[in-house]
Amino acid sequence: MQEILVVAAIAAAIIFIPRLMGRKSSSEAEQQPRFQPQTRNRAPKINLTGWMRLAILITIFWIAGCAAFLKPWEGEKFLFFYISLGPTLVFWGGVWVWFGYKKYRR
């Protein structure tokens, strides 16, 4: 159980720390001269639809549920990989290919 909590903490840190570090305080914004354009290169924002957010959440719950049920740390590692990670990789691979076709469609 402790391993699952560590993985969840790492995932939460990956999601939330960049958001917290990217913000400037109001005093830093006032110190910049107004006549110089900002040349800050930021990564483009990714707009996630509600369906995409739901799919990500279901994926996380699927892997966590399979881990809790199959207990791969006590054995049955290959069964865990086949049942939890196999369908997940197939699904997200299909989503990746679908978005690729959708992006370059004329």
Residue 72 DSSP symbol: G
Residue 106 banded pLDDT, cuts 50, 70, 90: low
Residue 27 banded pLDDT, cuts 50, 70, 90: low
Do the domain assignments include residue 19? no
Residue 8 CA to residue 44 CA, distance in Å, equals 26
Do the domain assignments include residue 55? yes
Do the domain assignments include residue 16? no
Do the domain assignments include residue 103? yes
| CB neighbour list of residue 48: distance below 8 Å, 6 or more residues apart | 56
Residue 33 CA to residue 52 CA, distance in Å, equals 40
Do the domain assignments include residue 6? no
Instruction: For residue 95, give its domain range.
Output: 49-106
- Total domain count, the chain: 1
pLDDT in tens, 52-97: 889 999 999 999 999 888 888 888 888 888 999 899 999 999 998 9
